Each structure stands twice: as structure tokens, then as C-alpha cells.
Chain A
Amino acid sequence: MLKINQLHKSYPIGDSSLHVLKGIDLHVESGEMVAIMGSSGSGKSTLLNIIGMLDEADSGEYTLDNVEIKNLTEKKAAVYRNKFLGFIFQSFNLINYKNALENVALPLYYQGLNRKQRQEKGKFHLEKVGLLEWAEHLPSELSGGQKQRVAIARALAADPKLLLADEPTGALDTKTSYEIMEFLQQLNDEGKTLLIVTHEEDIAEMCKRVVRLRDGIIMEDKKVEQVRASQYV
């Protein structure tokens, strides 16, 4: 599914440069639920951005679903993002002047689907996150948990191979966090592949595999016994 070999990335800071990723090797199989952990500055967000094709590595190989991701133009990156990836952000990043349904349907617009198909698919995914009756509401009328669920529906809408979540529970209280995690676990049960960046141990324990980063290298990569979020909800 996802293969990363010897990935390096550094950012120029003035005259010198900051080496953020120092040779990352990561293989993720289809259907896995991986937590990427690490303190701030460990390079976990950079790794996620490179996987998300929002950023490009300096060297190393990156293959996603047997497609080599290399020398991307902005346009190609956009097409791949749309086709392969679903993003879930810490701050939800819903478009504030579009209602829930329009937000969910937005990736479908860029896929070139017609209006009717978008409405149908959008409603389907909104129902999946249990917010169909909130379809006409603007993000400002939704709670944090609801916003994140709309964002998850949006990430699912384009039927991506891989869901990337950057601190999906970072802006939520514990109870809501667990609800979101429960939902993400359900998605994983249905066969979705998830990569979740977090710094919270309890969230990481709800995944099936934990990858710990420190100073740009993988310190630890182990399978864990998944804690079901449903028991806390």
C-alpha cells in the first residue's frame, strides 16, 4: 500500500539547514491503522505532509498503491491528492461559508462529478457520520465534534486509498475525542487504511500500530493491542 525508503528532508534556515527527516523507512499495508507519535519537532508532521504530497522529500523513495510519487508538478499532486488521499485536520478546515453537505461534496467537485452525483454521494457520507439532518447547516452552527465528523465525511467522499489525520482530536475534549476515535476505528474495521499523527498516548493506543519518531528517525515501530474507543463512550 504505502512504501517509504530512506526518506530525507531538510529545511533551509538562513545559511544553514535543518535536517528534519533523516532516513525514514516505513511500510504500511492495506487495512492498517497506524499512529505516528513524537514530540513536536520530531518530524512527524513533515512526514505526514510528504505522504500527503503537500510537501516533497529531498531524497528517498515513496510509492503509494504501486504508483511512484516523484517529481510531482502541482497539477499532478492535486490529482493524486484527490484520487488517493483523504485529509483530516486538527482544526477541521471546513470552508465556513459552505454548509455541511457542500463541504463534504467539495472534493467531488474537483473530481469532475456532476451536481446530482455530488449531492447523492455527499449525503451518503454525511449519513455515514450521522449528520444527515445537519446537511444544510454552516460549520459555525456545528459543535467541534460535529465539525470533525463533517471533515471526516469530506475526507471519505472521494473514496481515498489512504486517510491522513493530523492530530484529529487535538482540538476536542476527551469525550468527543473518543467518539471520533470510535468512528475512525469503525472505518478501519470496514477496511480503510489510516495514518494518524498524534502526541496523545491514549489516542495512539487506539490504533493497531504505533510508530515513534524522534529527531527525524524512527525510534520504535510496533504492533499494539488495539484499545476499543467504544468502551469509553
Chain B
Amino acid sequence: MIRFLFDRDTWQEVWDSLSKNKLRSILTMVGVWWGILLLIGLLGSAKGIENSFNRLFGDFATNSVFIWGQSTSKPFKGFQEGKRVRLSLSDAKRVEENVEGIEFVVPRNQSQGFVSRNMLSGNYSIAGDYPLLDFVQKKKLIHGRFINQNDIDDNKKVAVISEDIYKQIFEKDEAAVGELIEINGMNFSVIGIFEEGNVNMGPSSDIHIPFSTFQQIYNQGEEIGWMMITGRPEFDIKQIEADAKLLLKNMNKIHPDDKRAFGSFNLGDAFGRMTGFLKGMQFLTWFVGIATLIAGVFAIGGILLITVKERTKEIGVRRALGATPFEIKRQIVVEAVFITIIAGLGGIISGGWILILLDKSFGQGDEAVLVNASVTISVVFIALTILVVLGTLIGLIPAFKATSIKPIEALREE
């Protein structure tokens, strides 16, 4: 059988019977070609959308949840309902120490501030942050650096500002790092400029200053605005959220069933739903693609079956000349597989062209809908393997049909 596959005559026979019946062969191929083109095109586009999502969220620790204090909705241990709840640094510390699966807890504070430099000024949100923020909410720094531990330890008056603010209070092309700006009347030295991401998850701030400095100038004491909790990838962020909230209620003397005391935004949950949607889309793509492919292969089977009927006489002649039934079957199966593979390769190539076209029209620039719309080699191989297997199976039907007719009846056929 192996020798047969490498025999020139085998392919000569296949080539003859296909090339001498061009229209028939081409019509046969269209179905499979279309199926695999759809599969590649759809899978590539789905991948492109996924890539663009990943690019948007890539700088973000997605397995995270924000928790902030609100006011109680239930009286508990002598406290009236409606008690104002404020989180504190020790809350954050306790959560970090006691809740399982936590990677980071980042306490944050935020307030509005009046910012000015020379004659230019504006109101912006000011956040007091730890260096850790850079790990969970990666800042794309264009110039300078983010806050470090030194800044915290020494309560330095330094600020990392957004590109937007830079544009508003600095002259064009003016160097900003090292310059002073005034925040609420106090001089701060600019140490970095960051670029705003495409998508802002959770509250965003225009200016980051060291947490300790923020505490001082806004007189916050131990209180914090909210905490951002990041879970390790293998832990369920919803469980972490529930555990953390229960612990916080316990420490702050709040009824365990109080739903209003803490507000939260579970980024992991939201992100999970989005990736779930992508997964669904990918599944749908595979489903549609493979279904189309199967339909295409069935079309090949159908046309080959008609072809075999048309070629009954030829098959009869071949058998009268000494072709064994096995040789006839083998011939037809090889033809079927050959057609499927050629059509499949054609489909893969045209699918590739479509992806290139999609990339050219939708895949350029930062705001691209499709990023690197492509399929992996393994997808191509899987598709080809499916084609070969289906082609063989579908080829068997006309093959058995061809030899089920006795040669004498085949010869009599006009």
C-alpha cells in the first residue's frame, strides 16, 4: 500500500481521471474549499478578537476585586443601621494575612485636588498609591518612573502624572520630569508620565502620589478609600471576595449578612464573562466550520457517487481487463482523498488571504478590532487530518458502490 502511494502510475491515474473531467472535479472541490475557507477565516477572526481583548487587558491583573466601605444596612452589636464604614490599613493587612489565595492587597486613597503650574491649572483626581499598584495595574510610563518604596518611607512630595495632564499644564515638548507642579498649594516634583490605557478598569486617577504623602496632606490617618485585591491565578476570585468581605465584616462589627456595608467590583468575574463569550464564539466557529466541512465532504461523496454511476461502464471495462475490486476501490478512495486535500489546501490558502485582507483593513493601529488575526499550524493540521479521514470514509461509499455492480452488468450499461 505504501509503495502504491508513492507510485507515479497511481497519481497518473488519479490525475487523468480528474484532469480529463475538469468541470466535475472543480465543482466537487468547491464545497470543501468553501468549508475550510470559512473555518480558517472564522477561527482567525475569533483569534484576532481574542488578541485585541488580551491587548486591552494585558496590562491588568484581571483576577482581582475592588472593595470599599459604604454604610451598614443592618443593626449589629449595638450599632444602628446606616453606620458609615471606612476601611483602614490594618483591614488591608489582615485581609492579606488571613484570606487564602491572595497575591497582593493594594490599599488606595483618592481625592480631588487643584493642580497648577505657572498659569495653567485644573482639577484632577489625586491617588495615594503604593509601588505595588504598578504590578496589578501596569502603568505604561512614557517618561520617568513610578512611585517606589523610598518615596513612601520618606513621604516624598513626588507625583506621577498622566499624559493628559502633561499636555494640559506643560508646554509642548517641554521636559516634565524633575519639574515642580502645585497640588493643593504644595509643590510636588514630577517623577514620571504615564500613558492612559484604552480601557480603564475600576477607578482611574490622573495623578499618583506616594500613599504616605497622601495620608499626610489629606489627613487620612489609617483610613483608606478602597483596596484592590489580586488573587493568585489558581484561586477563584469570587471566593476570595466572599472570604475577604466576611473577614472585614467581622473586624468592623458588621452583621455577616449585611449586603450594603461593602461595595465591590469583581474584575475577574467581569473578565471571566467576557472570555467566556470569546470561548463560546470560538466553539461556535469550530462548530460552524466543521459542519460546513462535513457538508463539503458529503458533497464530494455525493458527486463521486454520481461519477461512479457515470463511470460504471469504464469500471466494467477496467474489470474485464483485469482490475481487481480492491484496485478499483483503492483508485476511487485515492481520488476522493486527493480531491479533498487539494480543495482543503486551496481553502487554507484562500482562508489565509482573507485573514491577510482582514488584517490589512481592521488589524492596523492601536485601536484595531482584530489583532493578529491568525490560526496556528496545529489548527491547519487538525483541519487537514479531519479532511483526510472524512475523505477516506466518504470515498468508501462510492468505492463499494462501484464494485457492487458485477462487471457484466457494468459492461451492459449504456
Chain B interface SS verdict (over half): helix
Contact B20 A110 (CB under 8 A): no
Identify which of A75, A95, A97 contacts B324 (C-beta below 8 A).
A75
Shortest distance from the beta carbon of B234 to any chain A beta carbon, whole Å: 61
B318 — which chain A residues lie within 8 A by C-beta? 95, 106, 110
Identify which of B9, B13, B327, B411 contacts A89 (C-beta below 8 A).
B411
How far, in whole Å, are A90 and B406 apart by their CA atoms in the complex? 19
How far, in whole Å, are A154 and B403 apart by their CA atoms in the complex? 22
Known: A78-B325, A93-B411. A54 touches B320 (CB 8 A): yes
Known: A97-B16, A98-B16. A82 touches B322 (CB 8 A): yes
Shortest distance from the beta carbon of B127 to any chain A beta carbon, whole Å: 79
B1-41 toward A: CB 8 Å interface, digit per residue (1/0)? 00000001100010011001100000000000000000000
Contact B407 A109 (CB under 8 A): no
Contact B321 A81 (CB under 8 A): yes
How far, in whole Å, are A131 and B324 apart by their CA atoms in the complex? 29
Contact A97 B322 (CB under 8 A): no
Contact A110 B327 (CB under 8 A): yes
A38 CB-CB contact with B under 8 Å:
no
How far, in whole Å, are A76 and B411 apart by their CA atoms in the complex? 19
Identify which of B313, B323, B414 contacts A78 (C-beta below 8 A).
B323
Could you tell me which residues of chain B, from 377 to 413, have a CB within 8 Å of some CB in chain A? Answer: 403, 406-408, 411
Q: B interface, how many residues as a size bin? A: 20 to 34
Shortest distance from the beta carbon of B256 to any chain A beta carbon, whole Å: 82
B323 — which chain A residues lie within 8 A by C-beta? 78, 110
Contact B324 A74 (CB under 8 A): yes
Contact A54 B407 (CB under 8 A): yes
How far, in whole Å, are A106 and B317 apart by their CA atoms in the complex? 10
A83-97 toward B: CB 8 Å interface, digit per residue (1/0)? 100010101011101
B314 — which chain A residues lie within 8 A by C-beta? 95
Could you tell me which residues of chain B, from 318 to 372, have a CB within 8 Å of some CB in chain A? Answer: 318-327
Contact B322 A158 (CB under 8 A): yes
Could you tell me which residues of chain A, from 88 to 123, have a CB within 8 Å of some CB in chain B? Answer: 89, 91, 93-95, 97-98, 102, 106-107, 109-111, 115
Contact A75 B317 (CB under 8 A): no
Shortest distance from the beta carbon of B322 to any chain A beta carbon, whole Å: 2
Contact A75 B325 (CB under 8 A): yes
Shortest distance from the beta carbon of B323 to any chain A beta carbon, whole Å: 5
Contact B403 A93 (CB under 8 A): no
A89 — which chain B residues lie within 8 A by C-beta? 411
Shortest distance from the beta carbon of B223 to any chain A beta carbon, whole Å: 89
What residue in chain B is nearest A49 (Cβ atoms)? B408
Contact A78 B9 (CB under 8 A): no
Binding site for A on B (CB under 8 A): 8-9, 13, 16-17, 20-21, 313-314, 316-327, 403, 406-408, 411, 414
